[in-house]
Structure 1
């Protein structure tokens, strides 16, 4: 029997896997090219009062598990004391055998707090005291957590109407050597179905761009202006949260009429919404090609399913689920249309539904093009899939249908400064899987080549793919 969370063997079942992880992957730096942490908190070097604040505040992974364990909402998002919330989490965690959050939580306790035990109801006080004592140390700030994790670059998630104030301040701060750059998420400009909210957003975007938005062409010009500002600050990627990748073409006249309704705060039909979103996505895809950015498309999610709790808590509070609708014909038609108009930018496709994996792999291979290796990517196993099973499935499908060695690897997609051990978790899964293939005789034990593949997936491929100003690691 292996020891729990053994530093040598965890998720590694073969000597080859162990060698690949410890000699090639383990020490590689991190490029976190998609996350939701706050650039303001990084600039201000935020401190955390308790383990509850840094661990449970905003973490809907944990909130979902607590609800499923019968914990009252008062101890999750309510006004219960921090110590009581932590106790409820410790009690919940002990029941979560097989859940990746169990493994992530203990990796975080080991890596940041030096705790090698097991968190449960009986040890909660011990962990509470240890973690809070560490958090009280002078150097235990969010910047130090980033440094300790060997992070070289972070892409935050930002709206084109944002001021980018905190990115500018971080870039001008000589005391912090980790790059923090924006990644554009123009979802608010896409949501024409939100009537008055959409119209109010256009006003804010116009103010940020220094123009008045009266037409769809004005909107496109505002987006271009703000994208150019973001590019100067190091932005090299966008991100879009879509229900699915749609393709419903329309004439310029039709789009202008739809836009006018949205600008006036009027409700558009579903067909008009799809036409508008298609036109918007075709435009921004051209912008990404112009700027050399990567376009990230996240889809396959049904958000805010529980209307009662959405009314109480708002979005991103643990009430989202997997969608089973991702039409391959529309995805292919959209990529083809972009390819024929502006040319396809580098594109990463993420579906929340694991059943879409092979569909994505086969569609994207129709549009691969030199000189970019892996110009289209099947993104890292995402959200409900970033566990060992999901990662193995995504990696295996990509290996079966494409070139695994061009994969850009892991991201945290997190709001927590303690999430960086997810990169270790991913690298262990990657090395474990490749190790099994080698020892089954499916690939030679050529460690020069294998080591290069593992290093590249862990770090180098992301640096090359996004064009970040970072050194490669040999």
Structure 2
């Protein structure tokens, strides 16, 4: 019987036998290193409460917009995948997924899921319409095992650090409980994510500002109170172990306004009178303010721009956000980020990690920026670029200008807890493949490549995210 491709020891390594041998040696040096995940979206309560995972469809299909979007593109309505409060039988959702499985050939999602089936769930056959019930039952049986709870998987996956993404007003009770639990040896760190408090175009912005000001305890009102409340919530996150603040903005624009101008924009927004230009200016100013706060409180600042959120309005209205129709668009960084870097680009201990969904930005803008500013680090391939070939393109694009030391280390950015080991393993294999080519071309020594692979996998994320 042919070996399952997800189990092949040389998956993702170079096809050339000589280069592959070098890559194998490099990969073996990092295969067993602990996972450092400084940015992701797993809910800390899942780890703290340690409850069983739900059925296979609710775990692997319905919440994963990487999966649902492609099945939808091939003609399956989203309500047949469990979205929008659908009462669809989970087993039927799973059948729809298995029937659509051929659509995932060649995709990153297909690669992750194959790895999960093989290495996490012990499923060694390809999904089909005919075997969907059998695989559903096999995965369900695995989910029911006592050893398949989140905390037990934390140990099995060898996760040392996992960062979550959290609302500024979150109490962080689950994080505090995990930190205080002597039986839990790993670290689960909160991340400050203030998007819906900064973007005045957000439908709930005014309500969120009211809640933010109320949480500040009745101090100053207006713009000054708003800024003070954000600073206070950041301190709450720092006190509970946070190391970074994340910003999912539309563009990387930054703008320095004086307090009077910023206050006027704030009051127009509170009154419902802000123009589209006001909205763009205020968000750009608040990105500048977030950088100022990071310089003061030490939180690493990460920026994730370039996604047109909720591109299909009818789908958003029926099924809500994060349902597969966020589409990348081109961004530019050089001018947009300059106001921020003018004042903070060389500030002591300020770390700014810049991500993109526009591959042209890697070599044209991000690598040159990181190659000068001590504060700037290049974020790993993210979202649509979180795929084997895109990872190789990224490494080729940035290294000749910025070297290896100016990148963030791998960022899995995932809600899918069971995919974390597959994603990190993929990155380690791709980095090994890239370095092996440089060794084979006599561009670096094999000894130096062994040092670099450990730095890329382990030291970089610790260094960049102050771990």
TM value normalised by structure 1 = 0.91
Counterpart secondary structure, 1:105: helix
Distance of aligned partners of 1:92 and 1:293 in 2 relative to their CA distance in 1, 3 Å threshold: same
Residue number in structure 2 paired with 1:411: 411
**From 301, 304, 328, the counterpart of 1:298:** 304
- Counterpart among 340, 352, 356 of residue 357 in structure 2: 352
Secondary structure at the residue paired with 1:305? coil
Distance 1:3 1:52 in 2: 23
1:269 and 1:18 map into 2 onto residues whose CA distance is 57
Number of aligned positions between the proteins = 457
Aligned to 1:329: 335
Matched, 1:118 2:126: yes
Counterpart of 2:438? 437
Give 1:389-408 correspondences, 5 Å limit: 389-408=389-408
2: CA distance, partners of 1:79 / 1:71: 16
Q: Structure 1 pair 276/253, CA: closer, same or farther in 2 (3 Å)?
A: same
The equivalences for 1:29-40 within 5 A come to 29-40=34-45
- What is the aligned partner in structure 2 of residue 169 from structure 1? 177
1:210 aligns with one of 208, 217, 222 = 217
The aligned counterpart of 1:99 is: 107
Secondary structure, counterpart of 2:129 in structure 1 = coil
* Pairing partner for 1:225 from 217, 228, 232: 232
Residues 98-127 of structure 1 deviation map (CA, whole Å, 9 limit, x = unaligned): 111111101011221122332233332332
Indicate if the aligned counterparts of 1:160 and 1:185 stay in contact, CA closer than 8 A. Answer: yes
Asked if structure 2 preserves the Cα contact closer than 8 Å seen for 1:249 and 1:275, the reply is no
Q: Does 1:157 align with 2:165?
A: yes
Secondary structure at the aligned position of 2:444 is classed as coil
Cα distance per residue 1:64-114 (max 9 Å; x no partner): 111112113232123321111111111212232211111110101122112
Change (3 A) 1:327 1:398: closer
Contact 2:254-2:340 within 8 A present in 1 as well: yes
Mapping for residues 19-98 of structure 1, pairs under 5 Å: 19-22=25-28, 24-76=29-81, 77=83, 78-98=86-106
Q: Could you say if the C-alpha distance between residues 97 and 10 of structure 1 is closer, same or farther in structure 2, counting changes exceeding 3 Å?
A: same
Which residue of structure 1 aligns with residue 428 of structure 2?
427
Q: Residues 36-67 of structure 1, C-alpha deviation per residue, up to 9 Å, x if partnerless?
A: 11111211112123211211131000001111
Supply the distance in 2 between the matched residues of 1:436 and 1:339 (Cα, whole angstroms). Answer: 34
User: Is the 8 Å Cα contact of residues 72 and 78 (structure 2) preserved in structure 1?
Assistant: yes
- Residues 1:387 and 2:392 are matched in the alignment: no
SS of the residue 2:36 aligns to: strand
Post-superposition Cα deviations, 1:254-284, rounded to whole Å, max 9, x if no partner, equal: 11111112233x1311222232223212222
Structure 1 residue 452, shift from structure 2 partner: 2.1
- Could you tell me how far 1:173 is from its partner in structure 2? 2.0
User: Could you give the per-residue CA deviations for residues 8-57 of structure 1, whole angstroms, max 9, x where no partner exists?
Assistant: 100012111111112x1210111111111111121111212321121113
Q: Secondary structure, in 3 states, of the residue corresponding to 2:147?
A: coil
1:147 partnered with 2:150: no
Q: Which residue of 1 aligns with 2:453?
A: 454
Change (3 A) 1:157 1:17: same
CA 1:435 to 1:327, structure 2 compared with 1: closer, same or farther past 3 Å?
closer
CA distance in structure 2 between the aligned counterparts of 1:131 and 1:91, rounded to whole angstroms: 17
Q: Secondary structure at the match of 2:191?
A: coil
Q: 1:251 aligns with which of 243, 251, 258?
A: 258
Q: Distance in 2 between matches of 1:35 and 1:365?
A: 23
Segments of structure 1 that go 5 or more residues without pairing to the other structure are 370-374, 469-474
Rounded Cα–Cα distance in structure 1 between residues aligned with 2:117 and 2:371: 44
Task: Indicate conservation of the 8 Å contact 2:255/2:339, yes or no.
Answer: no
Q: Does the CA contact (< 8 Å) of 1:202 and 1:213 recur in 2?
A: no
Partner Cα distance (1:278, 1:96) in 2: 38
State the Cα deviation string for residues 402-446 of structure 1 (Å, max 9, x = none): 121453321221112112110001111111121122112222222
**1:307 equivalent among 310, 313, 318:** 313
Q: Distance in 1 between matches of 2:296 and 2:256?
A: 22
Distance of 1:116 and 1:3 partners within structure 2 = 7
1:276 corresponds to which residue?
282
1:166: Cα distance to partner?
1.5
Displacement after TM superposition at 1:179 (Å): 0.9
Distance 2:254 2:180 in 1: 42
Aligned to 2:17: none
Segments of 5+ residues of structure 2 without an aligned counterpart are: 15-19
Equivalent of residue 373 in structure 2, options 368, 373, 376: 368
